[in-house]
Amino acid sequence: MERVRFAPSPTGPLHIGGLRTALFNYLYARKHKGVFVLRVEDTDLNRKVENSEAYIHESLAWCNISPDEDPIKGGEYGPYRQSERGDIYQKYIKVLLDKGKAYYAFDSGEALAAAREKDEKEKGGFKYNAQNRMRFDNSLTNTDKETAEKILESNTVVRLKVAPGVDVMASDLVRGSVRVNNNELEDKILMKKDGMPTYHFANVVDDYLMKITTVIRGEEWLPSLPIHQLLYEAFGWDSPKFMHLPLILNPSGKGKLSKRDGDKNGYPVFPIQWKETLGYREAGFLPEAHLNYIAQLGWSPKREEELMSLSDMENEFDVSNVQKGGARFDLEKARWINQQHLTKLSAVQIIERYPDQVAALNAIYGEKTAAIVELVKERLVLVNDLKTTTEIFIKDPIEYDPKSMKRISKFDVKQVGELIKACIEIHEIIDLKDAFVQKGEEHGIGLGAFMQLTRVAIVGSLSGPDLFEMLKILGKSVTLKRLDRLINITL
Ligand code: GLU
């Protein structure tokens, strides 16, 4: 049974990269009929930001990718918040100390800073590892008695004892095998002075205890892989499979996608609103479309068709199509995918899901609202476009588009306008097109003039949905009123 986990640190809102990691974990779990775990890695108390955990739950819920086990739901392997697992880390650090795979270190910050400065000057770099650990104040350089006293005297750290000179090998499902010589590594701190575990230690212990079979995370964690591998080996545990997802690059392809970049170029980087900053939800993206887009940041499905529902993705997700190279963010593509998903929804579904967007329309048109939404649906890119595209059904156009006015000024607006009004008086709104054609023939005026003028009167410009459908909804009196207004303006 595959078990995967999304393990965010609650240090702020989730960004696109974090959500993509969650999604890939979710898809992998569903594809393999496995379990998707959410573990909150909140051991770094200085970086913890209030409400971030709630934000993570809400974002995943909006996207419909809620975990099977998490801090709220619980599960067989809880607690799922690392801050509640202190006893477990204490127990497992003792295991490593007893095995001689870890040791206490008592060095002061000043002593380390001085050593670093010296080594950087003399050797061009500093590492606390097998080459120099005997220079420092730790349980390897103190007697057992001294060590015991020092542990009692002050808070100490525990470091991993990395064996010198051998290669550590780890493998990644996307990148193949990763090999690093241990001499490149440091004796990483596993337990901090405040008694809290470091990311590396807690992460490995929890992945093991939570029976995680595949670790799927962002590429920024690849440098940690050798240390994690060494930790598994130190415990004598089998390591899980690893898959590091490619970076998400900004639209220019130069550098990582950042919030600053999003602010500057007007696209969100968060799924939902965080404090003052709006997310994709508020910008009018459908969650299923947002997921469809971010799934393609690093994964190219085999099929040609780019539009996928969540269940399509669950069925088709395949590790072998996850790329190594960075994935460039493309707002236009994200918008296009959103538009395509919107057209797939029925008007009734849109109204049910976004009642606020159509509240004003509903107050005037009641049951007819669905017909209006159907009419404008093809023109929507974002859900929020509903308000602007349906405005003409709520109020008369305030301004007329100058270009459109120039176009209709080629006709005798008063004459054509009066003919249109006559058609409406006789035929009501039904069969208006035939009436326009007939009247046009009588006066030697093309159908285009009738239609363009009516459209400008109704919409304020030469754009908008099907004219005759719009007229049917607006009705005779509103249409006549708007025609009169245009005729009077152009007189
Ligand atoms: N807590 C790490 C993060 O914030 C988890 C990395 C991992 O998945 O191992 O992304």
CATH number of the domain where residue 99 is located: 3.90.800.10
Res 63: pLDDT:
98
Res 262: pLDDT:
87
Res 462: pLDDT:
96
Here the CATH number for the domain that contains residue 40 is: 3.40.50.620
Query: What's the CA-to-centroid distance between 9 and ligand 1, angstroms?
Result: 7
Ligand 1 touching residue 228 (CB < 6 A): no
* Residue 274, CA atoms < 13 Å, CB-side half-sphere: 22
**Contact (Cβ atoms closer than 8 angstroms) between residue 167 and residue 180:** yes
* Residue 157, CA atoms < 13 Å, CB-side half-sphere: 19
Both 66 and 93 in one domain: the answer is no
The answer to whether residue 79 sits within a structural domain is no
Res 103: pLDDT:
98
Res 310: pLDDT:
97
Res 186: pLDDT:
96
Res 352: pLDDT:
97
Using the atom order of ligand 1, give the atom closest to the CA of residue 203: 9
Ligand 1 touching residue 25 (CB < 6 A): no
Here the CATH number for the domain that contains residue 486 is: 1.10.10.350
The helix or strand, by DSSP H or E, that contains position 160, with its residue range, turns out to be strand 157-160
Both 310 and 256 in one domain: the answer is yes
Positions marked active-site: 259
Mark 348-358 as b/e (b = at least 16 C-beta within 10 Å). eebbeebeebb
Q: Which of 199, 232, 243 to mutate to test the pocket of ligand 1 (most atoms within 8 A of CB)?
A: 199
Res 261: pLDDT:
86
The answer to whether residue 148 sits within a structural domain is yes
The answer to whether residue 81 sits within a structural domain is no
Domain hosting 355: range is 346-392
**Contact (Cβ atoms closer than 8 angstroms) between residue 180 and residue 172:** no
Q: Which of 206, 221, 243 to mutate to test the pocket of ligand 1 (most atoms within 8 A of CB)?
A: 221
* Residue 260, CA atoms < 13 Å, CB-side half-sphere: 2
Ligand 1 touching residue 203 (CB < 6 A): yes
Ligand 1 touching residue 129 (CB < 6 A): no
Both 224 and 276 in one domain: the answer is no
Query: What's the CA-to-centroid distance between 6 and ligand 1, angstroms?
Result: 8
What does each of the 491 residues of the chain score in pLDDT, given as a tens digit?
999 999 999 999 999 999 999 999 999 999 999 999 999 999 998 899 999 999 999 999 999 999 999 999 999 999 999 999 999 999 999 999 999 999 999 999 999 999 999 999 999 999 999 999 999 999 999 999 999 999 998 889 999 999 999 999 999 999 999 999 999 999 999 999 999 999 999 999 999 999 999 999 999 999 999 999 999 999 999 999 999 999 999 998 889 998 888 888 889 999 999 999 999 999 999 999 999 999 999 999 888 888 999 999 999 999 999 999 999 999 999 999 999 999 999 999 999 999 999 999 999 999 999 999 999 999 999 999 999 999 999 999 989 999 999 999 999 999 999 999 999 988 777 789 999 999 999 999 999 999 999 999 999 999 999 999 999 999 999 999 999 999 998 76
Using the atom order of ligand 1, give the atom closest to the CA of residue 21: 8
pTM given for the model: 0.93
Take atom 3 of ligand 1 and give the residue whose Cα is closest. 8
Other Cβ atoms less than 10 A from the Cβ of 252: the count is 10
Ligand 1 touching residue 240 (CB < 6 A): no
Using the atom order of ligand 1, give the atom closest to the CA of residue 5: 8
Both 262 and 243 in one domain: the answer is no
Both 340 and 352 in one domain: the answer is no
Both 477 and 408 in one domain: the answer is yes
Ligand 1 touching residue 41 (CB < 6 A): yes
The DSSP-derived string for 78-122 is ---BGGG-HHHHHHHHHHHHHTTSEEEE---HHHHHHHHHHHHHH
Query: The tokens of 378 are what?
Result: 């093809």
CA distances from 168 to 99, 202, 322 (A): 19, 20, 25
Query: What's the CA-to-centroid distance between 409 and ligand 1, angstroms?
Result: 64
The answer to whether residue 329 sits within a structural domain is yes
Both 106 and 54 in one domain: the answer is no
**Contact (Cβ atoms closer than 8 angstroms) between residue 231 and residue 182:** no
Ligand 1 touching residue 8 (CB < 6 A): yes
Considering 377, 392, 407, which residue would you say is the last residue of a domain?
392
The answer to whether residue 82 sits within a structural domain is no
Res 345: pLDDT:
97
Using the atom order of ligand 1, give the atom closest to the CA of residue 215: 8
Ligand 1 touching residue 21 (CB < 6 A): no
Both 209 and 63 in one domain: the answer is yes
Using the atom order of ligand 1, give the atom closest to the CA of residue 207: 9
> How many independent structural domains does the chain possess?
5
Both 151 and 178 in one domain: the answer is yes
Ligand 1 touching residue 9 (CB < 6 A): yes
Instruction: Say how far apart CA 272 and CA 38 lie, in whole Å.
Output: 18
Here the CATH number for the domain that contains residue 310 is: 1.10.1160.10
Res 426: pLDDT:
84
- Residue reference for tokens 């986990």: 5
The helix or strand, by DSSP H or E, that contains position 433, with its residue range, turns out to be helix 432-443
